[in-house]
Structure 1
Amino acid sequence: MTAGPRDETGAVRAVPPGPPRRATLRLLKQLFTDRLALMGDSAEDYGDLVRIAIGPKTLYLVNHPDLAKHVLADNAANYHKGIGLREARQALGDGLLTSDGETWHRQRRTIQPAFQPKRIARQAGLVASEAAGLVERLAAHEGPVDILQEMTGLTLGVLGKTLLDADLGGYGALGHSFEAVQDQAMFEAITLGAVPRWAPLKKQVRFRAARDELRRIADELVDRRLANPVDGGEDVLSRLVGSETADGASREGMRDELITLLLAGHETTASTLGWAFHLVDEHPEVSARLHAEAVEVLGDRLPGYDDLRRLTYTTAVVEEVMRLYPPVWLLPRVAQADDEIGGYRVPAGSDVVVVPYTLHRHPGFWADPERFDPGRFDPAGPGGRPLRYAYLPFGAGPRFCVGNSLGLLEAVFVLAMTARDLELRKVPGRPVEPEAMLSLRVRGGLPMTVRPRPARERRAARLIHSRRSTRR
């Protein structure tokens, strides 16, 4: 950790820089309407550790790799889950996303084996099959289609087949239920819980219905597995059911963990793919290279696990998408004891937020940071890989995302197969804006038109890509 500024005696300074109290009304407005601008402006104006006081709430914004490493890894035991995730607990319960301490360790031990590399490799065929179904549905679609809705259906389908050994096709309301959970969690976070949960507001009513629906679905999935156990089952659902006997896990605990998995397992990848289609449409040269690589590497077949290392440009595109629009844009923590961050004292009980969205745009670590450039992640490029804690699309430290390998595999396969067979174009005149909730999603959906690519075009692109590879 860098030793930040101290006073003339070398003592830790008490208060980091930040917006003055007179800016409270402006900060409140940004908190409600543009949380990304609030974080970005604060980091730009005040540096790598910022104290943001908004009424009775004070946030410590961390925006430097060394400081992020301290909070997320070096002193991770001092930092429990924070703002936003605390509020989400009323719907998600004490699942892996919201729990701490021994409960979190037990949950992580239970599901970790389902994400081992060898098992993920064996799931590649299921992922490719689901992606092929998506491409087929999109190719047959007439008129604009909401790509975000399609990505939600796809990622839930992949999650069901690969992690739960279950078909989630009959649970079409899952995506809408999780939207309601995110909306409510963020609403409670920014209103500091001042609005009672029982209030008959439309948002509150929608949330309560969504919470009940998620619990019903989770209970139904558990009941089905209990009635039809899988011998030697390695999937998460089998492991959760088995943990009830082995670890004394409660039925409520299984339900909490399953609801959390359903949210985290589909939302982040769906958001990443939505932003990918938006950015690829904005950059025709990227679209052309994606198409050429997919034709060269895959031909007309489905991808296999070994193709992941061959789809280097597609992987670089996904990684750059997650740099500009990290699906988990905020990593909130609460200090359990007094700490020192960057030479400043951070009192116990403080809300400390590491913000990948601003960290991924830090001009000290990224050249021309607002530009979409997949070349940043070219292993053979002049810059090499980015500094470890300057890039946190999956978090870091003990709470590094357990599903990162499956999420990356899924995003790369879907993007490659779609780019090979289809052209997706945004509907003109429809703005594309980020919405910073628990995840960073496209506000209001992403309508796009779909045009199948003719086979002769795919063959021509394959020839061009082959020639380019030969020249290299």
Structure 2
Amino acid sequence: MTGPQHEARAARTAPPGPPRRATFRLLKQLFTDRLALMGDNAEAYGDVVRIAIGPKAMYLVNHPDVAKHVLADNAANYHKGIGLQEARRALGDGLLTSDGETWRRQRRTIQPAFQPKRISRQAGIVASEVDALVRRLAAHEEPVEILHEMTGLTLGVLGKTLLDAELGGYDSLGHSFEAVQDQAMFEAVTLSMVPQWVPLKKQLEFRTARDDLRRIADELVEQRLANPVEAGEDVLSRLIASGSAQGASRERMRDELITLLLAGHETTASTLGWAFHLIDEHPEVGARLHAEAVEVLGDRLPEHEDLRRLTYTVAVVEEVMRLYPPVWLLPRIAQADDEIGGYHVPAGSDVVVVPYTLHRHPGFWPDAERFDPDRFTAAERPPRYAYIPFGAGPRYCIGNSLGVMEAVFVLATAARDLELRKVPGKVVEPEAMLSLRVRGGLPMTVHRRDRTRRSEAA
């Protein structure tokens, strides 16, 4: 059969995927190895995969053209989905979890705080925080938990650049956000079938964490109300001004703040953790980073203009985010029937764009598992939607410029002055929660470098 009837029938066809008899194996992977669940099925069934687990079906997207359709061309049909829906219990209707007009209004409110000119003016603050971090690391004689240090750095930068506030006193923030992610993913993989009142350790920790985050957000608002910033351009000032003008509740401001605190620190901290792991695994990359940092920076702190000069450092950050995208999946729910990649997707379906597998697509990334920053120094690059570490379309990450600048400044300054090595015997594994983090931390030893010594790679 050819012609319109054949095309209509093809559009109603479900994508390929594992058979029903594989349900037990799929459930096990959903609980224990979500990356293998995504990767194995992408390899076995192609660029659009239907995975049926119990009463639900997920449609996995692993091709740039289909990702573009879901995230950009027909973005209005796809609202936030699995994982983020469950995170609403802690994040409320913040920018990460909201949809429709609520999301558009929130985005308009905080967008000016992320304008490129304002972010470039924050470079001095970022560089100062990074310098203090590197000095602290250099003083360590015992192994240091690098993920803890990166979380502290990114929270400090977020507070001073976006909130005009000091977050150094809120040591519980990192732990509280871990508990929120753990609970959100637990509810997602159990299809929210475990009642919230069941006193599981995970659920009790979540309640404590949620209360802690709300307390911190309320304190930040109270502090700003007591000490307003004249013509404040920061996010906190804009949220308060917008809330007063629109009669918005304190709860909405709290939701936005908690979301900003999570999204603003977690992704960059995760990227830096993976970067230090990969650099340790590839000492030739560390040597080139050191040589470039000595050449470009000398003895001074990095400046915004150095982002154009630290080309290899930027490429390292990009390659780290290719292999370990901090936002490793982009979950959506189809609001109406649609066709993706030639297959029918019914309304209400979970459609998941998977940057983790998309960034490893053999059709766009030769030798995809290899860590090779020079992919991003070549003149020819893969299609736009083959690489989406910050998402794409209207929901493109609002903080991408600040995150990249922060990561580049950290790697350049650290590579110039230090060499970080994993403690012997440490096994590094990914943990796929709302972000893609290193499971169980990353202890490393710190070794000082000579700034004036040129590496052999120079």
Separation in 2 of the partners of 1:60 and 1:142? 49
The one-letter amino acid of 1:250's match is S
2:396 matched residue in structure 1: 400
1:446 matched residue in structure 2: 442
- Deviation of residue 8 (structure 1)? 7.5
The one-letter amino acid of 1:290's match is L
1:53 matched residue in structure 2: 52
Deviations along 1:3-24, whole A, 9 cap, x unmatched? Answer: xxx9587641321100000000
Separation in 1 of the partners of 2:453 and 2:173? 41
- Superposed, 1:336-375 pairs within 5 Å as 336-375=335-374
- Deviation of residue 247 (structure 1)? 2.7
Separation in 1 of the partners of 2:74 and 2:426? 44
More displaced 10-residue stretch of structure 1: 281-290 or 248-257: 248-257
Deviations along 1:54-113, whole A, 9 cap, x unmatched? Answer: 111210000100000000000000000000000000000000000001110010000000
1:280 matched residue in structure 2: 279
Separation in 2 of the partners of 1:210 and 1:148? 19
Which of residues 458, 461, 472 in structure 1 aligns to 2:454?
461
Separation in 1 of the partners of 2:211 and 2:7? 57
Deviations along 1:194-244, whole A, 9 cap, x unmatched? Answer: 111111110000000000000000000000001110001000000011111
1:294 matched residue in structure 2: 293
2:179 matched residue in structure 1: 180
The one-letter amino acid of 2:431's match is E
Structure 1's unaligned 5+ residue stretches are 1-5
- Deviation of residue 151 (structure 1)? 0.3
What is the SS of the residue equivalent to 2:59?
A: strand
Separation in 1 of the partners of 2:244 and 2:29? 48
Determine whether 1:431 maps to 2:454.
Answer: no
What is the SS of the residue equivalent to 1:459?
A: coil
Separation in 2 of the partners of 1:74 and 1:85? 22
What is the SS of the residue equivalent to 1:451?
A: strand
1:214 matched residue in structure 2: 213
1:66 matched residue in structure 2: 65
Query: Is the CA contact 1:7–1:13 (under 8 Å) kept in the aligned structure 2?
Result: no
Query: Is the CA contact 1:17–1:50 (under 8 Å) kept in the aligned structure 2?
Result: yes
The one-letter amino acid of 1:390's match is A
Separation in 2 of the partners of 1:424 and 1:87? 37
Query: Is the CA contact 1:144–1:449 (under 8 Å) kept in the aligned structure 2?
Result: yes
Separation in 1 of the partners of 2:367 and 2:164? 44
Separation in 2 of the partners of 1:287 and 1:7? 55
1:36 matched residue in structure 2: 35
The one-letter amino acid of 1:403's match is G
The one-letter amino acid of 2:160's match is K
Aligned pairs, number: 454
Separation in 2 of the partners of 1:251 and 1:224? 14
The one-letter amino acid of 2:40's match is D
Deviations along 1:8-57, whole A, 9 cap, x unmatched? Answer: 87641321100000000000000000000000000000000000001112
What is the SS of the residue equivalent to 1:460?
A: coil
Separation in 2 of the partners of 1:227 and 1:183? 35
Separation in 1 of the partners of 2:8 and 2:100? 37
- Deviation of residue 385 (structure 1)? 2.5
TM-score for both structures, normalised by structure 2: 0.98
- Deviation of residue 178 (structure 1)? 0.1
The one-letter amino acid of 2:53's match is I
- Deviation of residue 428 (structure 1)? 1.1
- Superposed, 1:302-313 pairs within 5 Å as 302-313=301-312
**Overall identity of the aligned pairs, in %:** 82
Query: Is the CA contact 1:96–1:107 (under 8 Å) kept in the aligned structure 2?
Result: yes
Separation in 1 of the partners of 2:382 and 2:314? 15
1:246 matched residue in structure 2: 245
What is the SS of the residue equivalent to 2:454?
A: helix
What is the SS of the residue equivalent to 2:321?
A: helix
What is the SS of the residue equivalent to 2:444?
A: strand
Separation in 1 of the partners of 2:75 and 2:187? 25
- Superposed, 1:307-322 pairs within 5 Å as 307-322=306-321
The one-letter amino acid of 1:452's match is R
Deviations along 1:142-176, whole A, 9 cap, x unmatched? Answer: 21111000000000000000000000000000000
- Superposed, 1:249-264 pairs within 5 Å as 249-264=248-263
Structure 2's unaligned 5+ residue stretches are none
Separation in 2 of the partners of 1:302 and 1:452? 17
CA RMSD, Structure 1 to Structure 2 (Å):
1.2
Query: Is the CA contact 2:10–2:343 (under 8 Å) kept in the aligned structure 1?
Result: no
- Superposed, 1:5-20 pairs within 5 Å as 11-20=10-19
